[in-house]
Structure 1
Amino acid sequence: MSESTSSTSGTSGTKEKVGRYGIWSVELRSEDPARRGEIAEAAAELEQLGYSAVWLGGSSAARHAVPLLEATSRLAVGTSIQSIWQYDAEASAAGFAEVESAHPGRFVLGLGVSHAKLAEQYRRPYSALVAYLDALDAAGVPAGRRVLAALGPKTLKLAGDRAAGAIPYLVTPEHTAEAREILGEGALLAPEFKVVPETDPARARALAREHLAMYLALPNYTNSFQRLGFTEDDLAAGGSDRLIDALYAWGDEERIRDSVHAFHTAGADHVAIQVVNGTSPDALPRETWRRLADLLI
């Protein structure tokens, strides 16, 4: 499959399928059999609320999408992301084919290079990603049904050339505007954005800093922040208020709605919303999902 195939091999269909709003969640990728019913029920409700897609956080794979796809009839489910170091291209292609056979057109393969601190075999990530895409092409995985977790200009260009588009994580509307320029109008641009359902500034920023801590230790993200104009001072002590307020929406409903809409204004086709509320990693924030659906959809 040629590099130009992405523009004619389902990119527009993927854009339409994921719609304008989705949910990004680690909690929904659980493989605990005891939680399967709860997850299926939550997925069905998300579809009913009007969300068009769910993005499964962590190093997720096609098998994690199956319970959500089985519980719904229209919802798109994507990996956000599947690490190219954890799953080889042959296994990835086989997983895609199996899910595609059972649920045609509804699974989106989100790929990324993860981080050097998290992947022992991390070497020349860009070249490794290109080789991985070559292998997926050879295995028949359509370019228009895969997306890349792209932050920098080079990988964003690759996402436009060799995939349906990009699913940037931990970014701002300014990044979205720059990404749209690089991707062009045709490609899908679906940034993830975090919402803290809290109106008290001190409490909201404390929850955000607690959540951000692990990412401030990962150069892929800190380099991205600095490309956006944040300084070393912004990255110190858990993150400046300026950094926190750019990466997390908090406050009253109007402020949260405006913060999310800023991504669409900047050029996003879709926003994948992650709720950050300081609760147990296994707790599904279903009430907040309902409130956000009323607010946004």
Structure 2
Amino acid sequence: MGTTIEDARRALGPVGVALPVSFAATAPIDAQREAVGRLERAGYRAVWTNEVLGKDALVQLSVLLAATERMVFGTCIANVWAREPETANGAAATLAQAYPGRLVLGLGVGYPAQAEATGREFGSPLARMRDYLSRMDSETYPPAPDAAYPRIIAANGPKMLALAGEISDGALPAMYPPEQTAQARQLLGPDKLLVTGLSVGVNPDPTEAKAEARQRVEALLEAPAYRKAMAGLGYSTEADDRLVAAVVPHRGPDSIAAKVHEHLAAGADHVTLLLPIGTEFEAGIAQLENLAPALRF
């Protein structure tokens, strides 16, 4: 019998997809049920969902797990401000008991505004995450189901990645080039689960696809930490062609498949594809279906 991490690696496979995200509206649950069925039939083995305050990812996954036969689901990410850690463990363990081997719980600290919305101070992300993971295993009455599932932390910077390697089953960095995946693997060590979030451009018009990819990278570069990380990896701190191609493959399905391979070669166990935020749900599902033939490896 394998470990929880080894089992997750096998179940997830090398590549998965995140459901299209819009902060303006949530797709009806019937449309989501139909969509994950389509993605399963297209050959994907894993689907990831986001969470914001007001949208409960674990409730969402309970519906989608029931709507599929083998699909593995992950959260990218479940927000630590949305629920108490003991409740998070109880909910995740219940899903893991009901659907063994089909859940990966990704956890993240999110943003200061999300903490403020719940009446709490954001404080130190590292301290908050350490406390949250520790409290997940607190004794409760009745106890949570005795069902194993992997917990991974949304982590881009070296300190959070090191913490993920220390206290969790792995990490989920996102929107970085393969060189950062290699650094993440080095910090985590070989025995942790490394899931990489890869932004992809799917516009069939080459000029529009390039412009959209550049806009996404320019938005990322507004964060000083991201600019510093890119400089440390040997990239420009401007959205030049080299950086854009490294972060957001956008030259058709083959370019996306090639970038997935690069992340896997750099040490990722699994790569999940992230469509642009605001992608219309039905259009996004169709785009992911169209990508599937190039991603079957």
Taking structure 2 as the reference length, what is the TM-score of the superposition? 0.83
State the AA in 2 paired with 1:46: L
| Residue among 77, 85, 91 paired with 2:87 | 91
Structure 2, unmatched stretches of 5+, are none
Is the CA contact (8 Å cut-off) linking 2:105 and 2:151 kept in structure 1?
A: yes
Q: Label 1:253 to 1:9 Cα distance change in 2 as closer, same or farther (>3 A).
A: closer
Q: Percent identity, aligned pairs only?
A: 33
| Residue among 105, 111, 129 paired with 1:109 | 105
Bigger drift between 37-46 and 53-62 goes to 53-62
Partner of 1:79: 75
Is the CA contact (8 Å cut-off) linking 1:113 and 1:129 kept in structure 2?
A: yes
Q: Label 1:113 to 1:201 Cα distance change in 2 as closer, same or farther (>3 A).
A: same
Is the CA contact (8 Å cut-off) linking 2:81 and 2:109 kept in structure 1?
A: yes
What SS does structure 1 have at the residue aligned with 2:249?
A: strand
Partner of 1:185: 190
For residues 248 and 100 of structure 1, what CA distance do their matches in structure 2 show?
Answer: 33
Shift of 1:251: 0.9
Partner of 2:166: 161
Q: Label 1:201 to 1:117 Cα distance change in 2 as closer, same or farther (>3 A).
A: farther
Is the CA contact (8 Å cut-off) linking 1:79 and 1:109 kept in structure 2?
A: yes
State the AA in 1 paired with 2:257: R
CA offsets per residue over residues 133-168 of structure 1, 9 Å max, x none?
101122568785111111122221222232221111
2:245 counterpart of 1:245: yes
For residues 168 and 177 of structure 1, what CA distance do their matches in structure 2 show?
Answer: 11
| Residue among 3, 6, 13 paired with 2:7 | 13
Q: Label 1:80 to 1:220 Cα distance change in 2 as closer, same or farther (>3 A).
A: farther
| Residue among 59, 62, 65 paired with 1:63 | 59
State the AA in 1 paired with 2:5: T
Is the CA contact (8 Å cut-off) linking 2:22 and 2:278 kept in structure 1?
A: no
What SS does structure 2 have at the residue aligned with 1:285?
A: helix
Partner of 1:271: 271
2:151 counterpart of 1:146: yes
For residues 61 and 79 of structure 1, what CA distance do their matches in structure 2 show?
Answer: 7
Q: Label 1:113 to 1:227 Cα distance change in 2 as closer, same or farther (>3 A).
A: farther
Is the CA contact (8 Å cut-off) linking 1:62 and 1:95 kept in structure 2?
A: yes
Partner of 1:3: none
Is the CA contact (8 Å cut-off) linking 2:65 and 2:73 kept in structure 1?
A: yes
Is the CA contact (8 Å cut-off) linking 2:5 and 2:169 kept in structure 1?
A: yes
Bigger drift between 166-175 and 80-89 goes to 80-89
2:30 counterpart of 1:25: no
How many residues align structurally?
A: 283
What SS does structure 2 have at the residue aligned with 1:198?
A: coil
Q: Label 1:253 to 1:77 Cα distance change in 2 as closer, same or farther (>3 A).
A: closer
Q: Label 1:110 to 1:51 Cα distance change in 2 as closer, same or farther (>3 A).
A: same
For residues 71 and 173 of structure 1, what CA distance do their matches in structure 2 show?
Answer: 34
Partner of 2:285: 286
Structure 1, unmatched stretches of 5+, are 1-7
Q: Label 1:273 to 1:24 Cα distance change in 2 as closer, same or farther (>3 A).
A: same
State the AA in 1 paired with 2:69: S
Shift of 1:102: 2.5
Matches within 5 A, 1:38-49: 38-49=31-42
For residues 84 and 220 of structure 1, what CA distance do their matches in structure 2 show?
Answer: 22
Is the CA contact (8 Å cut-off) linking 2:96 and 2:149 kept in structure 1?
A: no
Partner of 2:125: 125
Partner of 2:29: 36
